[in-house]
Chain A
Amino acid sequence: MFVLYFLLGFIILSAIIAIETRNLLSSVISVGVIGFTLGIIFLLIGAPDIAITQMVVEIIVLVVLIRATVSIDNTTIEEHRDTFAVGASLVFFGLFLVFASYAFMDLPEFGKPLMRVARHYLSNSLADTGAANAVMGVLLNYRAYDALGELTVIFTGILGAMVLIREKGRKKIHEPRPTRDILERGE
């Protein structure tokens, strides 16, 4: 349990460094450290499927962020801090923490869950679904409809982003429109 607290403190320290540092590359790497440590925490509390997904998504996000931010010329950030905005956000966040701590007292203790439906799933997963991995049995047999919803969200999000970023269809002021988009040029 002490290791989890230590890793949590490491995440908080890395988040503070990500905000306060002036070098852009250090800030992006600190964001990557947050995701990586979260993947380690998932491994330590016994969720390897989520740990694999978290690590791979963190690597993709880090690669995209580094390619997007480090190629610009100005790599230091100089900004004035807006005191009123920071003060107001701290006050509201403090209020939220006070009320949330009352709500968290009512949850069951960490490590002793209240398993009502989960007890049925864990004991009958191999007989009903035939899958030895109980996580896959729940995700793709008992709750297969939710996996369909996840895939639809990913599909809609990525196709929407691709439509918004197209070259074709945007009027350029002094150049003729390209005749074919890059997504159709690879034929």
Chain B
Amino acid sequence: MGMSLIVKKVTQLVIALIYIFGMYIIFFGHIYHGGGFPGGLILGCGLVLIMLAFGKNMVLEKINLKTLRILGICGLFAYLIIGLLGFFKGSFLMNFIPMGRPFYLNSGGFIPLLNLVSGIQIFALLFLAIVSLTNFGRWVESFKIEPDEHAE
């Protein structure tokens, strides 16, 4: 299953760079371009690349889909909990982390934290959506009506 040997080897060489680039865009979202949304999408695309190159069965054996589902749900709830922690400083979603020097990684208050949380959620949910879509064709085909159903 999957694609030819050249595609598999190139994927093995390149996938680490894709993941480092995706995490760079998430972690440095408050200084350089990017943020949580594009970073999570790039990480999800890396996993889809593995699924396309090596076949669906190999990926589904090695990756626990229940864990991905829990990660996707916890991402949204972590965002809500960070928002509720803002009540220590006044209102919902108020910044409660002291701000550091600008252009450094600890600047921006809780913006890096929100980036991380939304990136994890989008990565998990995107891969689950594409796995569900790849099963959709087989589910539709299993509803072919047998010939003796028409005879009434």
- Which residues of chain A have a CB within 8 Å of any CB of chain B? 48-49, 52-53, 56-57, 59-60, 63-64, 67-68, 71, 126, 129-133, 135-137, 139-141, 144-145, 147-148, 150-152, 154-155, 158-159, 161-162, 165, 167, 170, 172-175, 182-187
A43 to chain B, nearest CB (A): 11
Q: Is the CB of A167 within 8 A of B139?
A: yes
Q: Is the CB of A130 within 8 A of B109?
A: yes
B129 to chain A, nearest CB (A): 5
Residues of B in contact, count (CB < 8 Å):
65
Q: Is the CB of A183 within 8 A of B83?
A: no
Q: Is the CB of B41 within 8 A of A53?
A: yes
B48 close to A (CB within 8 Å): yes
A-B complex: 10 closest residue pairs judged by Cβ atoms: A130-B99, A131-B108, A131-B30, A186-B65, A56-B41, A52-B38, A48-B33, A144-B93, A158-B125, A165-B132
Given known contacts A56-B42, A132-B107, is B69 in contact with A183 (CB within 8 Å)? Answer: yes
* Chain B CB within 10 Å, residue with most, of A59, A130, A136, A182: A130
* Chain A CB within 10 Å, residue with most, of B38, B52, B65, B75: B38
Which residues of the other chain, A, contact B139 by a CB distance below 8 angstroms?
165, 167, 170
B60 close to A (CB within 8 Å): yes
Residue of A67, A132, A150, A170 touching B103 (CB-CB under 8 A): A132
B145 to chain A, nearest CB (A): 8
B137 to chain A, nearest CB (A): 8
Which residues of the other chain, A, contact B107 by a CB distance below 8 angstroms?
130-132
